[in-house]
Amino acid sequence: MSEYLFPLKTPNTSNPYPFNNTLSSNQCTNGIPNSKYGNYGSSNADVLYSIWCANQSTLGAQFTTKQTLDLAPGTNPVCQGPANIFIFRHGEKSSTLPNYKIDANGAYRACQLPNFINLLAQQGYPISYIISCNPCPFNSSDPSMREIQTIGMASFMLNIPLYIYGGSQDYANICNALFPYPLGSTDIGQFDGLNIVICWEHSAIQSLCLSLLQTMGPLNRLDIEPITFNNITNYADPFFVSKNPCKDGNYLCNDPQSNYYIDNIIPPSSAPIGPNSQTYPYWNNKNFDNVFWFKSQGPNFQFDFIIFKQPCYSCYPSCGLNIGLYQPLESNCVTSNYYYANEPSSEDIENNCQVPSDWAV
């Protein structure tokens, strides 16, 4: 089910892990991209200003101006809610604490994201809005401003509004903002018919996707029939069974029908876990370049689901593992769960780019 919108650079085969978009060794020093333009000193403001000026002639920046003149989304938007939603995680972070911010690789990725958004515009998906989440405070288990740092450059350089509706697990706020009106309403939402980017915390992306699906379903934005699970109408389960059956070599859980996924895991309240939850999207801890795309087009604008890679490079090797077991979450701003082998004391295989088999107890 993967679809690549952009040509990928040939991977560096000297690295033992299966990754894409990794810079060659002569472009990296001590694992981070080389700095080619340094020692500007007091001229830094002039440099940054020149970069902003250069971006104003690009399609992404010009599109926001055009939408202002057109009073987007207009009086007759093509669909209820966004037409296309591109979701990706924050950029690379340091493996050592404190890692409140993205590291040099993450900063290099953030500087490439304006080009990525311009490429989306060139391929027919210009971005109108960017959505991210609140930073986690310094005194939390996982303090972070990584999402804002990752996407802030694109917002500034391309003049695309950046919206924040809460923390990484405030899914209801996001759904209510993107799809504020019930089916049949004549009111027009701010995001109706437009394309948006969401930059999010990776361990919460799965639940965000499930919550979005539960909101899209009653609005006829999905071409699947819901099922009833634990007396709750569930759209997410049949959607990912039909749209993302892991045919491209990514891993599944061992037993799709196991009660492990039903009895021992507390699902998000808006998106119950069903017997096919192994097909839900999961973001591997080492993966920084995936994009989850809820794609729709006329005449019905019902969503499909596609995974592709950002056309961004760094010195960080990505695992390339896309889909896996259901990802249980702790409370907001708490260090995310990881995959482990069967024994709790065993090595953290996810951090070694290996296929996970089960959760640590």
DSSP notation for 309-349:
E-S--BSSPP----B-S-----STTSPPP-EE-SSTTS--S
**How high is the pLDDT of residue 18?**
40
The CA distance from 117 to 113, in Å, is: 6
* pLDDT per position as a tens digit, 253-271: 444 433 333 333 334 444 4
* pLDDT per position as a tens digit, 78-126: 999 999 999 999 999 988 888 899 999 999 999 999 999 999 999 999 9
The CA distance from 188 to 207, in Å, is: 26
Please name every residue paired with 228 in a beta bridge, in sequence order, or none if there are none. 233
Burial class of residue 203 (count of CB atoms within 10 Å of its CB; 0-12, 13-18, 19+): buried
The CA distance from 293 to 307, in Å, is: 6
**How high is the pLDDT of residue 170?**
92
**How high is the pLDDT of residue 271?**
45
Contact assessment for residue 89 and residue 205, using Cβ atoms and an 8 Å cutoff: yes
With H, G, I as helix, E, B as strand and everything else as coil, classify residue 144.
Answer: strand
To the nearest whole percent, how much of the chain has pLDDT over 70? Answer: 73
**How high is the pLDDT of residue 267?**
41
Q: How many Cα atoms sit within 13 Å of 250 on the Cβ side? A: 22
More confident residue, 303 or 281: 303
Average pLDDT, the chain: 81
Lowest mean pLDDT among 46-50, 133-137, 191-195, 285-289: 285-289
User: 2: pLDDT confidence band, cut at 50, 70 and 90?
Assistant: very low
Whether the pLDDT of residue 4 is over 60: the answer is: no
Q: What angle do CA 219, 221, 223 make, to 5 degrees?
A: 120
Contact assessment for residue 164 and residue 145, using Cβ atoms and an 8 Å cutoff: no
**How high is the pLDDT of residue 324?**
57
Whether the pLDDT of residue 304 is over 70: the answer is: yes
Prediction pTM value: 0.88
Domain residue extents for the chain: 25-359
Contact assessment for residue 306 and residue 312, using Cβ atoms and an 8 Å cutoff: no
Contact assessment for residue 204 and residue 283, using Cβ atoms and an 8 Å cutoff: no
Token reading at 288 = 């920084």
Q: For the residues 208-237, what does the mean pLDDT come to? A: 87
The CA distance from 35 to 89, in Å, is: 24
Q: For the residues 141-154, what does the mean pLDDT come to? A: 95
Query: Dihedral through CA 239, CA 240, CA 243, CA 245, nearest 10?
Result: -150
